[in-house]
């Protein structure tokens, strides 16, 4: 790789196919493949100083101050000493360099930590411990359980049966459920035999490095035979090996060429909208400075020709310079004198303010996640104020909104709902961490992590309620989960979907323990008794069927079909005798859907032996057919899956992170639009959208875009626009090309009739992002309150973000937790990583990180809004005080013959921005707040002005300039007229230049300090100290500088001897200071008073409420449980995948043959010694203390009120 990385890019373009040979470094070396070392740092010891200075001088202001410094060393044009520019410039460069060095040192440490990890590499027929950075393409590596995968590997062999390995991909996609990879049989035979592995010389031809996490194509050639390679045989860097003792892999891609690093995206230098506006304003200021200097140079030209020629007898011109040369030199002299319109201290102050506000985020205890000891972290210090202007949030789902944990929450069995907890008065209690849990100690095989609170359900199980037992028997049999039991009683389930795992775990805890399976049997423990069911058929899930069935034969020889699936699908196939039970169950399902739970209906039927044998024969024939196999199988499944008997329903919570619905609701009130970009299936994402309050049932409509062609997608988008459009013109949503910023027009144009949502799937999104359709898609999406994009690739996530950035000119934020979110995080203006999870790749690429999604509302509504407000106040005030300072020079020029004479003392000019006005404005910029955090949450609409750039814009800037112009006129002409032709009480003249300079600078300091006091909304002891201390410092320094002692020490540097004590002892001087201060402040106070009375802003209204409440915030609203009334949504059919039934029955995924084990249960019958009924069927105290009431008899539920129940197991 070259110094700037150009060669690396060219090489990647050239590589169309990768060729490598195992165990042959000499063969692979000429291809110059990247090693496994990663490099994210920018500098080294030798390049830091030149590169860093080069970068810093690319900033216009720094280059401008360097240019000023050059001018100041030219004696003909400089009327200021060189130190007035050198000191601030060196300070800025040093502070910025120190910050950059610290960041890069941290990157070096992070790189070294990863590069120096150890891996076992097969070298010279021996396994050697090598650093990750020394691993090369073609090496064979041994991995052990719980180790990170070193590089992108081709799996060769493993310790598990059939050469399977289990990997966790949390680092890549945030998902914690395990995934399976399987080696080719030809390499699996190598096992862990080092000699065989060392002799292995297979050649791989595969795709070049790319960022597709879900796809891989290639071939392996061994002994002249070619074998196809796909993603199921590849272990990607960033994955973790789980439940596998060891495996061997062949390195295909290393370091920067791995898919993990390829997905990191291009690092871009992020700048805030305030920064971008500042650059434009600085250019305007330069133009204005040149304009002022030109006017003064022309003035000098005329003055020299008319007045100056009269003095040439006494003051001859040097080198016979004429008036034109004098005017030219005067131009550059005034460039130096008036340079304070762009003071270098502005940039120092901005960096300090950003750093301080970053520390507030790091130190915020309310964003600290104690459970995982994870604080919030501002990983960059340059984007804080941008957090107060966010308009669009792009969020991942898995691991960001959800915990990727499915929890068995409720169930309805035979018309009775279980899962809620009631007190003795019949009132439902809110379940918290303190709510008493069901005791599963009667079941030694129970999962200790499973939590359930309704004791009535476990009572029904213990009392051998036949309907309840049939319900859990179905859950224990009808699934594709694999069980692993390495130690007696310690069972681990490997579920293809988290839903499946949650249901099987629930059955396990309630006494129906799935223990093992073979291709033709399922072994379970029913209430302590080991039972083996013959597995005759699996009627697998697919997206159309939305259900799964198994046909089993009980140990007693009874044939039964068990079915579970989407409730609407199951209901269509029920026997007529279930109509009354179906009505009751429907009510329960609606209630569960109102809580945002994923519902699933369960049914069964007993089968006739003769009919099943005929059906099985036809099934075998259809399974081997070549034409229309799928359609014929569906017909067969439909035939047998009818006249089912309803058992009940389950309700699973796809556990959201704490506070997600409340956070989304708050952000929506702040007029922030939230788009969810997820790789999940459409139905899963839609379900989560409802449960997290993103989609609401009260929305007018939720549009589903699922077209399979560009024409279909375009038609669906246009139909959605037609439905939503009110009075908006077709293309009025988009800004004209010349418009800068996110002005109010953009918001007001997006008017629609009501609230709408949009859900679009991956293949439709691919068409929607094409050039002809992208604006239609963007327009439709921006008219909706919420947008969910499903089945999206990492690249598509970044494309969606870029589309909004490019066409909406709005500030965007992306939040995620996996490597598949990195490109999106880097593409957005602000990137946020969810830390504390096992996947940290997103955090490493983010600008801010914290552990829970709910902290986002505090980051934006409190820290972001305060940072933006403080930065805007700072800039308004800073420009005001410096323009005022500079304009006084401009007016003075007309009274000093345009001679570039300064109106102030040189020391005052040097210290004005560094000492006299620095701390007060920093105090305001670090501590000011219009309202506190509680009121910020109470009124999210306070966030909207930031989105509209109302606090600082070009318009605001020009107002500051006009205000400064007025103040400078007052500050120059009031002291000038007050001292003109005046004498002291003793008859001595006061109107000398030095006295006038002192009076003017003192008036200036008082005026800008009072203006600062008017800007501040929140006074603290620190602010007060800074303001009063700076005034005190001014007088202390002034009296010291103008003392006899300083003059005698260095006469040329301190010429204002005695001026302070002579002038400041005069009453008329103090009266002049008072008059100028009042005249400077009066228009501001008048304007604000009228403005507040006639058209107050949101901030002023809320601040008035605060004052009315005597600064005591109202109590926070009680966090009520967000419920919704909705149609039912089945969660099972949404997260499952087709094809797992075939894998189970084929035996490919079986870990070990089933062995007979003791059940481990104590015999449990109807007697429940030592068991105290709780929950619905008994008195229950929320404190956990039993009530002094008689425990009523347990009500045994029965299906007799609906139909005659037939136990399939007997």
Is the separation of the CB atoms in 208 and 12 below 8 Å?
A: yes
**Helix, strand or coil, per DSSP, at residue 1166:** coil
Which residues, listed in sequence order, are joined to residue 222 by a DSSP beta bridge?
225
What is residue 305's DSSP assignment?
H
Give the closest residue to 174 by CA, choosing from 1134, 826, 815, 660.
815
Q: Please name the residues in contact with 1031: beta carbons below 8 A apart, sequence gap of 6 or more.
A: 1005, 1006, 1009
Neighbours of 1158 (CB within 10 A): 9
Cβ-based neighbours of 603, under 8 Å, separated by 6 or more: 563, 564, 570, 573, 574, 644, 645, 646, 647
Q: Is the dihedral of CA 882, 887, 889, 892 positive or negative?
A: negative
Phi then psi for 702, rounded to 5 degrees? -115, 115
Q: Which residue has the tokens 């939503």?
A: 724
List the alpha helices (DSSP H) in 131-253.
170-173, 185-188, 194-199
Which one, of 240, 226, 202, lies nearest residue 23 by Cα? Answer: 202
* CA–CA distances in Å: residue 737 to residues 282, 374, 809: 22, 43, 10
* Catalytically annotated residue among 139, 173, 364, 396: 396
Looking at 250-395, list the stretches that DSSP marks H as alpha helix, in order from N- to C-terminal side: 259-262, 273-306, 323-337, 345-363
| CB 1032, CB 967: distance < 8 Å | no
- CA 269/CA 841 separation, integer angstroms: 19
Q: Tokens at residue 151, please?
A: 């590089």
Helix (H) or strand (E) holding 410, with range, is strand 402-413
Q: Can you spell out the DSSP letters for 64-78?
A: HHHHHHHHHT-TTT-
3-state secondary structure of 1171: coil
- Quote the CA–CA distance of 581 and 1157 in Å, as a whole number: 39
Closest to 927 in 3D by CA, of 992, 790, 1021, 820: 1021
396 catalytic per annotation: yes
Spatial distance between the Cα atoms of 41 and 39, rounded to a whole number of angstroms: 6
d(CA 376, CA 374): 7
Question: Cβ neighbours of residue 524 under 8 Å, at least 6 residues apart?
Answer: 473, 476, 477, 512, 513, 514, 515, 531, 532, 533
Give me the active site residues, please: 396
């Amino acid at each position: 790789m070259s110094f700037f990385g150009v060669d690396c890019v060219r090489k990647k373009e050239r590589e169309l196919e990768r060729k490598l040979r195992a165990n042959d470094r000499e063969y692979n070396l000429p291809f110059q493949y990247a090693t496994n070392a990663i490099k994210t740092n920018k500098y080294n010891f030798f390049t830091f100083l030149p590169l860093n200075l080069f970068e810093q001088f690319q900033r216009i202001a720094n280059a401008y101050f360097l240019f000023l410094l050059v001018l100041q060393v030219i004696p003909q044009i400089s009327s200021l000493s060189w130190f007035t520019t050198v000191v601030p410039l060196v300070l800025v460069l040093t502070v910025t360099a120190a910050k950059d060095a610290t960041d890069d040192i941290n990157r070096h440490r992070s790189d070294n930590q990863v590069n120096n990890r150890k891996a076992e590499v097969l070298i010279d027929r021996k396994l050697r411990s090598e650093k990750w950075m020394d691993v090369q393409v073609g090496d064979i590596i041994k991995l052990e359980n719980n180790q990170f995968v070193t590089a992108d590997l081709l799996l060769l062999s493993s310790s598990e049966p059939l050469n399977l390995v289990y990997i966790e991909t949390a680092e890549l996609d945030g998902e914690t459920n395990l995934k399976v990879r399987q080696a080719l049989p030809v390499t699996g035979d190598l096992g862990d035999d080092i000699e065989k592995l060392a002799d292995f010389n297979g050649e791989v031809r595969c795709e070049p490095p790319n960022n597709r996490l879900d796809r891989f194509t290639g071939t392996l050639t061994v002994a002249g035979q070619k074998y196809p390679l796909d993603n199921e045989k590849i272990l990607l860097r960033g994955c973790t090996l789980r439940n596998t003792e060891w495996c061997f892999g062949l390195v295909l891609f290393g370091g920067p060429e791995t898919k993990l690093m390829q997905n990191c995206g291009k690092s871009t230098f992020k700048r805030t909208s305030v920064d971008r506006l500042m650059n434009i304003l600085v250019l305007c200021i330069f133009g204005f400075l040149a304009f002022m200097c030109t006017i003064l140079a022309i003035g000098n030209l005329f003055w020299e020709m008319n007045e100056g020629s009269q003095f040439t007898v006494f003051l001859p011109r040097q080198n016979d310079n004429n008036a034109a040369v004098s005017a030219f030199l005067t131009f550059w002299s005034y460039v130096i004198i008036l340079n304070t319109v762009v003071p270098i201290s502005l940039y120092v102050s901005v960096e300090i303010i950003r750093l301080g506000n970053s520390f507030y985020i790091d130190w915020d205890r309310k964003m600290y996640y104690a459970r995982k000891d994870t604080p919030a972290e501002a990983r960059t210090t340059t984007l804080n104020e941008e957090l107060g202007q966010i308009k669009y949030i792009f969020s991942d789902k898995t691991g960001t909104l959800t915990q990727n944990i499915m929890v068995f929450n409720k169930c309805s069995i035979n018309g009775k709902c279980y899962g809620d907890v009631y007190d003795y008065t019949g009132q439902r209690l809110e379940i918290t961490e303190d709510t008493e849990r069901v005791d599963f100690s009667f079941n030694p095989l129970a999962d200790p992590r499973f939590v359930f609170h309704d004791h009535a359900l476990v009572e029904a199980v213990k009392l051998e309620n036949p309907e309840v037992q049939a319900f859990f028997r179905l859950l224990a049999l009808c699934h594709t989960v694999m069980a692993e039991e390495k130690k007696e009683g310690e069972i681990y389930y490997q579920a293809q979907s988290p839903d499946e795992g949650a249901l099987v775990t629930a059955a396990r805890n309630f006494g129906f323990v799935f223990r093992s399976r073979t291709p033709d049997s399922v072994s379970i423990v029913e209430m302590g008794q080991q039972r083996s069911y013959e597995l005759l058929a699996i009627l697998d899930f697919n997206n159309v069927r939305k259900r799964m069935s198994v046909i089993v034969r009980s140990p007693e020889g009874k044939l039964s079909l068990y079915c579970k699936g989407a409730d609407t699908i199951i209901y269509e196939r029920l026997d007529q005798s279930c109509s009354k039970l179906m009505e009751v169950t429907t009510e329960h399902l609606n209630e569960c859907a109102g809580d945002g739970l994923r519902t699933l209906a369960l049914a069964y039927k007993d089968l006739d032996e003769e009919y099943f044998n005929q059906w099985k024969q036809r099934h075998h024939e259809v399974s081997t057919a070549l034409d229309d196999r799928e359609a014929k199988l569906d017909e067969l499944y439909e035939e047998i899956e009818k006249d089912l008997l309803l058992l009940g329903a389950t309700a699973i919570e796809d556990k959201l992170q704490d506070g997600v619905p409340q956070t989304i609701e708050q952000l929506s009130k702040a007029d922030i639009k939230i788009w969810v970009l997820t790789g999940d299936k459409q139905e899963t994402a839609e379900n989560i959208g409802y449960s997290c309050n993103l989609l609401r049932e009260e929305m007018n409509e939720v549009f589903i875009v699922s077209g399979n062609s560009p024409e279909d997608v375009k038609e669906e988008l246009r139909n959605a626009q037609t439905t939503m459009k009110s009075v908006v013109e077709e293309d009025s949503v988009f800004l004209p090309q010349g418009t800068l910023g996110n002005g109010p027009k953009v918001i007001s144009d997006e008017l629609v009739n009501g609230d709408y949502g949009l859900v679009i799937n991956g293949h439709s999104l691919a068409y929607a992002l094409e050039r002809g359709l992208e604006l239609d898609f963007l327009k439709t999406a921006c008219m909706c309150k919420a947008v969910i994009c499903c089945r999206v690739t990492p690249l598509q996530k970044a494309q969606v973000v870029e589309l909004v950035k490019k066409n909406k000119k709005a500030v965007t934020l992306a939040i995620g937790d996996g490597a598949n979110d990195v490109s999106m995080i880097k593409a957005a203006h602000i990137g946020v990583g969810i830390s504390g999870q096992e996947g940290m790749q997103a955090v490493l690429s983010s600008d801010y990180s914290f552990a829970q999604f709910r902290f986002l509302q505090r980051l934006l509504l409190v820290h972001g809004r305060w940072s933006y407000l403080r930065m805007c106040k700072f800039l308004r005030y800073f420009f005001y005080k410096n323009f005022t300072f500079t304009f006084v020079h401009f007016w003075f020029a007309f009274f000093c013959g345009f001679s570039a004479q300064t109106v102030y003392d040189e020391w005052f000019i040097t210290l004005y921005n560094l000492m006299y006005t620095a701390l007060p404005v920093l105090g305001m910029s670090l501590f000011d707040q219009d309202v506190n955090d509680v009121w910020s949450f109470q009124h999210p609409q306070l966030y909207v002005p930031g989105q509209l750039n109302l606090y600082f814009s070009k318009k605001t800037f020009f107002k500051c300039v006009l205000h400064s112009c007025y103040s400078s006129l007052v500050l120059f002409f009031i002291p000038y007229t007050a001292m003109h032709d005046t004498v002291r009480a003793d008859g001595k003249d006061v109107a000398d230049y030095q006295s006038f300079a002192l009076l003017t600078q003192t008036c200036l300091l008082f005026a800008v300090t009072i203006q600062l006091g008017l800007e501040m909304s929140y006074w603290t002891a620190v602010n007060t100290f800074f303001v009063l201390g700076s005034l005190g410092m001014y007088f202390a320094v002034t009296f010291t500088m103008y003392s006899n002692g300083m003059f005698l020490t260095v006469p040329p540097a301190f010429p204002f001897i005695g001026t302070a004590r002579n002038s400041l002892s005069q009453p008329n001087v103090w009266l002049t200071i008072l008059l100028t201060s009042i005249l400077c402040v009066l228009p501001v106070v008048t304007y604000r008073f009228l403005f507040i009375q006639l058209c107050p802003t949101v901030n002023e209204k809320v601040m008035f409420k605060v004052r009315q409440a005597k600064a005591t915030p109202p109590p926070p609203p009680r966090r009520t449980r967000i419920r919704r009334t909705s149609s039912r949504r089945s969660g099972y059919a949404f997260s499952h995948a087709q094809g797992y039934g075939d894998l189970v029955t084929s035996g490919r995924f079986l870990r070990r043959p089933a062995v007979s084990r003791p059940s481990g249960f104590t015999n449990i019958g109807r007697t429940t010694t030592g068991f105290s009924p709780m929950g619905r069927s008994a008195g229950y105290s929320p404190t956990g203390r039993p009530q002094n009431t008689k425990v009523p008899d347990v009500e045994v539920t029965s299906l007799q009120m609906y139909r005659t129940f037939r136990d399939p197991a007997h």
